[in-house]
Amino acid sequence: MYRLSDDLAMINTLDFITPPVDDPYWFGSIAAANAISDVYSMGGRPLTALNVVMFPAKMLDMGILKEMLKGGNDKVLEAGASLVGGHSVDDEEPKYGLCVNGSVHPDRIITNASAQAGDALVLTKPLGSGVLFNAVRSGKFPYEELEKNVLPTIATLNGKAMEEALKFDLHAATDITGFGILGHAVEMSYGSGREIVIEYDSLPFYPGAAEMYVKGENTGSNVANQKMVESKRFSLERGLEVSGRGLVYDPQTSGGLLLALPADQTDALVSALHKAGVADAVRVGSVNNAEAGVVLV
């Protein structure tokens, strides 16, 4: 974050991922949405982006790289930003992302460390993408269902959700990515010095995600995410099936926003989000005036 003047600060973010899907265009779109989300989550507006790409040029057809970059560029343009260059490296595995620059008024920067007691929490996208990506690779989940029911939401920019949220008294926000819903709730809780309560029955999940955990699918991040959460003050006040224990630690790629705002504004925000096309937005928890920690009820 760079403050240029009393009315302008610059946000600079860098994010890149290995392919969550084999389709290069979807991969580029999702990677770009994932990177741009960091600017949105701070209340900023994306301005420019630089490609960061690693590609095995001697092993894969260059047409794959072309589609990856096209998917990313289309998402940058959708965000109203400009792709102004980038850097490429010959590597053994495709990796792609963006270095994104955005702007925000210094007095209107949204962080994940300013939730207040009495706030409610709203989540704008479902959870469970991590296990679904792995399940497609292992043949447990049909790619056609992923492409139809999951990828369009994952690739959706968080700009519209934040645009609506900023019309309210938004106190804190974070995008839900690799740490899963509980990991990012821990970050918000300890940053804000307040207890966060997550209501499991209110959490939205992608179709098929719970079933994949029941079938034995998992991700490489679940164990680490669980250890991170349980190393803090964490209370599990309900029993969870195998699927539930997996889903609350499931890492997301280009996940939704977790928004903290006064409880009495929650219904109006959720309604506004639905009208704006953020169909999965739902209240999922609250912030209490207690010691920092996370409670799952």
What CATH number should be reported for the domain holding residue 94?
3.30.1330.10
pLDDT tens-digit series, residues 39-73: 999 999 999 999 999 999 999 999 999 999 999 99
Q: Calculate the average pLDDT of the chain.
A: 94
Q: What is the pLDDT of residue 8?
A: 62
Residues 181 and 82 in one domain: no
Tokens 């996208």 -> residue: 125
Predicted confidence at residue 3, as pLDDT, reads 53
CA-closest candidate to residue 122, choices 67, 170, 177: 170
pLDDT at 10 over 80: no
Please say whether the beta carbons of 135 and 141 come within 8 A.
yes
Q: Which residues of 59-91 are buried (b: 16+ CB within 10 A; e: fewer)?
A: eeeeebbebbbebbbbbbebbebebeebeeeee
Q: Is residue 201 part of a domain?
A: yes
**Considering its fold, how many domains does the chain have in total?**
2
The answer to whether residues 127 and 79 belong to one domain is no
Query: In terms of domains, do 131 and 46 share one?
Result: no
Q: CATH number of the domain at 167, please.
A: 3.90.650.10
Domain-terminating residue out of 60, 82, 108? 108
Do 66 and 135 belong together in one domain? no
Last residue of a domain, one of 61, 79, 108: 108
- Domain-located, residue 217: yes
**Residue 2 pLDDT:** 47
Say if residue 145 is in the same domain as residue 97: no
Domain residues for the domain of 183 are 119-296
Residue with tokens 């490296």: 89
Q: Is residue 241 part of a domain?
A: yes
Final residue in a domain of this structure, among 75, 108, 141: 108
| Neighbour count for residue 117 (Cβ, 10 Å) | 13
In this structure, the answer to whether residues 6 and 68 fall within a common structural domain is: yes
